[in-house]
Amino acid sequence: MAVIPVNIAGRPYEVRVGAGLLAELVPHCRGKLRKRDVPIVTDANVHAAWGDVVEASLRDNGHEPHWRILPPGEHTKSWDELAATVNWLLSLEVERGDHIIALGGGVIGDLTGFCAAVLKRGCKFIQVPTTLLSQVDSSVGGKTAINTPAGKNLVGAFHQPSLVLADLSALETLPTRELLAGYAEVVKYGLINDADFFAWCDTNGAKMVAGDSALREYAVAHSVAAKARIVAEDEFETTGRRALLNLGHTFGHALEAETGFSNRLLHGEAVALGMVLAARYSARKGLMPMASADHVAQHIGEVGLPASLSALGLDCNGAALVKHMLHDKKMDAGTLPFLLMKGIGKTYLDKQVSLEDVADFLDGEL
Ligand code: NAD
Ligand code: ZN
């Protein structure tokens, strides 16, 4: 097991990464579950796969689990589920010092974290991420949110968990497509500022995706540490440092919007292709060699993620994709800061990018 200490603005917590943590949930919580009753929010898929294991660990240690089993999928991050889950927690008489357990992917983590942020003006919660994406990204860093009709993640709070337990065994029941989508966020940490880690991904990524547990532990622990470092430097996304985590996300968001945030393109798949586009656009601007952009595309394609925009077969033009970008939360006083690359591991925030130029570039890629 790897233990990564996270310290964000003087609030330390641990991220534990290893196999078999769900079966030993209570010992790993190390005294944080101070009452007999323990509220757990999850979704139906995760409950079907891991509910018994978690239930047994709680009961064997004298706890009474109270389950809230929500429908899987993005729709669960809604005002309605927020209200219903907060009311449910109130009915359980959860107090500020109590911990709520979020057992699931990013949907469950984001919703439960937001419930914890607003319940009694902030109570505690433990993230138990069960997707690769939530283990390497959403469970660490304290962003919580729900979606509204105006867009994704537009209402939320910064609220750090007290503990994150990333059980690699949970990935055994995760559909391969979801696993690969999470892998896109792993590669992202290499491309942002760690060329050595990109090289590691290049050598080991396929084996890691195929199931090698030692490689999985290394990839998750390294990614968590990378995210924790960046968030610690810029908890509230004010200095631009945290924005680095959005590499590939501006292009990716446009692709998700164009495909209606549907199953056609998962978030991680959109980010994978978005990173290829960011690399190719950077190369076209002369910021880095096209051979480096090709290297990024080659690795992403080799593991089985989408690496070519034309292969998606979208029925739109570059201007339409750029129009989606204008609704991006990162729009700031009429300009959209773009993450570009001066090389692999050399991502920077560029505020001078012309959206007409981006549209023109995308026309050539479609
Ligand atoms: P998800 O939570 O929807 O999970 C994906 C699917 O896998 C679901 O169908 C789920 O039921 C299933 N699943 C989860 N764990 C499983 C397991 N172990 N075995 C079998 N099935 C399992 O999706 P996700 O990709 O984990 O998270 C996406 C969400 O995370 C989005 O809402 C996104 O906005 C959010 N997010 C938040 C942050 C943040 O910093 N807070 C960062 C990135 C993404
Ligand atoms: Zn992402």
pLDDT over threshold 70, residue 246: yes
The continuous run of DSSP H or E covering 27 comes out as helix 25-29
Q: Which residues are annotated as a binding site for NAD(+)?
A: 106-110, 130-131, 143, 152
Which ligand 1 atom is nearest residue 152's CA?
Answer: 34
288: CB partners within 8 A, 6+ apart: 279, 282, 341, 342, 343, 344, 346
For the chain, the distance separating the N- and C-terminal CA atoms, rounded to the nearest angstrom, is: 44
Query: How confident is residue 9, by pLDDT bands cut at 50, 70 and 90?
Result: confident
pLDDT (tens digit per residue) in 41-50: 999 999 999 9
Q: Is 28 a catalytic residue?
A: no
| Second CATH level (architecture) for the domain 176-365 | Up-down Bundle (1.20)
Which ligand is closest in space to the CA of residue 138? Answer: 1
Residue whose token pair is 């446009």: 254
Query: How confident is residue 121, by pLDDT bands cut at 50, 70 and 90?
Result: very high
Average pLDDT value over all residues in the chain? 95
Domain(s) labelled CATH 1.20.1090.10 in the chain stretch across: 176-365
Domain(s) labelled CATH 3.40.50.1970 in the chain stretch across: 2-173
Q: Is 14 a catalytic residue?
A: no
- β-partners of residue 17 are 2, 166
- Residue 54 CA to ligand 2 centre (angstroms): 27
Amino acid letter, 277:
L
What's the ipTM? 0.99
pLDDT on residue 329: 67
Query: How confident is residue 334, by pLDDT bands cut at 50, 70 and 90?
Result: low
Write the residue with the smallest CA distance to atom 21 of ligand 1.
Answer: 174
pLDDT on residue 1: 96
pLDDT on residue 328: 72
Our mutation pick for probing the ligand 1 site, out of 165, 178, 330, counting the most ligand atoms within 8 A of Cβ, is 178
What's the CATH number for 2-173? 3.40.50.1970
Which ligand 1 atom is nearest residue 113's CA?
Answer: 41
Report the interhelical angle of 249-258 vs 318-325 (nearest 10°).
110
